[in-house]
Amino acid sequence: MRMIKSNYIPHKIYITQESLRFPLTHKIISKLKQIPHEIINNHQSLIEDFKCSEDPVSQGKKFILLAQQKGEFVKPCPCTPYYLGCNYFIINLELNCPLDCSYCILQSYLSNPLITIHVNLEDLWRELDVFIAKRKGSYFRIGTGELGDSLALDNITELSQDLISYFRQKPHVWFELKTKTVNISHLRKLKPPENVVVSWSLNSSIMAQEQEKGAPSIAERILAAKDVSERGFWVGFHFDPLIHYQGWEKGYAEVVKMLFRQINPAKIAWISLGSLRFPPDLKAIITKRFPKAKIFFDEFIKGLDGKYRYLKSLRLKLYSHIVKSIVKHGGSKIPLYFCMESKDIWRSVLGWEPKGKKEIEQFLSCPLADKKLVK
C-alpha cells in the first residue's frame, strides 16, 4: 500500500463477476491500469481467506474489492443506545479506509476487511431519489464518511464529483463529505453548491501523528479546508475522538487556534465533539495491532451503551476546554454538537439540552436557507 499524501494505490483489485457491468468498475480499472486485477465469483470466500491472515485489518487495506451493494445504500446513522443521536443518515458507498487510525471502530465493526467500493451507482441514485422524496419539505443531513473516508479513494473513484452533482439538485439536503485526507483536487474543479459541507476530522497534532497512521498532519488538513472554504464550500470539523493524554489542554488549544487562524468562522457549517469510545471487542484488536498505544489503558468506564468511554467528569473537562477555545477564537456562532453524548453533557457544556435527535437535526440543518456564505 502506498499513501503519498492522499493518493492511495492498492496492491491488487478484486472484482466480482457481477460488478463488471457497471461503468464505475471500468473507470476504476482504467484509472489503475498498472495494478493487477482479478475477477472472482465468490467474494465471501475471499473475505474468509483474508480473515485467516495474521492481521486481517492491515492486510485488507492493501486491496480493493469492487462489488455490488445488495442491501440498502442509505441508512440512519446507528449512533449508540442511551445517548443522544443527531438524525444523521449515512450512504454506504465505500467500506473501510486506507488510513489506519488506532481507535477506528471499523476494525471490529465490519466483517469484511477489504476496502470495498460498491459500484452499482445507478441503484444508489434510484434509492436516494425515493429516500429524499419521502422527506420532501424537511431538512436533513446525509454523508458518506461513516464506514469509510469520503475522500481517501477520490483519486481513484472521483465519486465526490458525482455525489456533489447529484446533491446540488437537492437543496433541502445537507450533504457532507467527511475526511482526514487532503484529497481535494476534484473538489477544486467544481462550483460549490450551498448545501454541501466538506468536513475534516481533527485531533491534536501529537495524537494525529501517533494514532492516525497514514493520515495527513493537522496543519495539512486545515490548509486543505482553507482551500475549499475559500473556493466557496461550507466546511465542517469533527473533534472526534478527543483523547486524554499528558498535555491535552495545550495540544487541543493549539489546534483550535490554528483552525481559526486559517478558516473564516462564517464558513464553518458545524463543529462536532466526541470523546474516545470503543466497544469491548475492539479493545483486544487495538491492543494487538497497536501494542504501544497506551491511550487505551486510560481510565475508561462502561457507558450506558456498554461501550468504553472516559468518566463523565473527564469528558466534561475535555469538551469544556475545546468549547471555550472555540468561543475565544471567534467561533461563538458556529453550531456545536456532540456525537453520542447525554443530555447532561449538552446542558453542562453548551448550556442547553435538546429534547431529542429531531431537535438536534433542526438546530444543525434548518439554518440551511439562512446560511448564506460570506464571500
Partner 1 sequence: MKIKILPLKDINFQDERFRISYYFSLEKLSLSIKEIGLIQPPLVSVLDKQFVLVTGWKRVLACRQLGLSALPCWIVTGSNPLRLFLMAFYENLTTREFSLLEKAEIIKKLKGFGEEERKIIRFYLPLLGLPAANYYFKIYLKFSDFEPEFKVFIHEKNMSFHCLELSANFDSWERKLLIPWLRVVGHNKQKEILEYLHEISVRDGLTAKHLLNSKEIKEIANSKNLSPLQKANKLRLFLRKKRYPKLHSLQLAFNSWLKKISWPKQVEIDHTPYFESDELKVNFKFKNKQEFKNNLLKLQKVVNQEKFSEIFNLNLNEND
Task: Please report, as ranges, the residues that interact with partner 1 according to CB under 8 A.
Answer: 48-49, 51-56, 284, 287-288, 294, 297-299, 301-304, 311-314, 316-317, 342, 344, 348
* Residue matched to cell numbers 465526490: 160
- Return the C-alpha cell found at 34: 498498472
CB of 284 to partner 1, least distance (A): 8
Burial of 4 (0-12, 13-18, 19+ CB in 10 A): exposed
* Minimum CB distance to partner 1 smaller for 152 or for 286: 286
How near is the Cβ of 287 to partner 1 at its closest, in Å? 8
Long-range contacts of 352-357 (CB under 8 A, 24+ apart): 354/84, 356/84, 357/79, 357/84, 357/85, 357/86, 357/87
- Shortest spacing between CB 65 and partner 1, in angstroms: 18
Of 53 and 217, which has the nearer Cβ to partner 1? 53
Nearer to partner 1, 157 or 325 (CB): 325
Cβ 145 to partner 1 shortest distance, Å = 27
Instruction: Read off φ and ψ for residue 76, nearest 5 degrees.
Output: -70, 145
Q: 45: which 3 cell numbers?
A: 470466500
- Residue pair 10/35 in contact by the 8 Å Cβ criterion: yes
Nearer to partner 1, 221 or 309 (CB): 309
Classify residue 301 as exposed, middle or buried by CB count within 10 Å of its CB (0-12, 13-18, 19+): exposed
Q: Which residues pair with 336 in a beta bridge?
A: 271
Give 316 or 327: the residue with its C-beta nearer to partner 1: 316
Q: Which is nearer to partner 1, 56 or 193 (CB)?
A: 56
Residue 169 grid coordinates: 439538485
**CB of 148: closest distance to partner 1 in angstroms?**
22
Angle, in degrees to the nearest 10, between helices 312-328 and 248-262: 30
Structural contact between residues 84 and 360, judged by C-beta atoms closer than 8 angstroms: yes
* Residue 219 vs 301, nearer CB to partner 1: 301
**CB of residue 344 to partner 1, shortest distance in Å:** 5
Minimum distance, C-beta of residue 311 to partner 1, in the bound complex (Å): 5
Closest contact distance (angstroms) between CB of 215 and partner 1 is 25
In contact, 39 and 15? CB cutoff 8 Å: yes
CA distance 270 to 265: 10
Report in angstroms how near the CB of residue 182 gets to partner 1 at its nearest: 34
End-to-end CA distance of the chain: 40
Residue nearer to partner 1 on the CB measure, 17 or 111:
111
Contact between residue 154 and residue 119 where contact means Cβ atoms under 8 Å apart: no
Q: How far apart are CA 210 and CA 69, in angstroms?
A: 34
In the complex with partner 1, the residue whose CB is nearer, 40 or 190, is 40
CA 147, distance to chain mean position in Å, is: 7
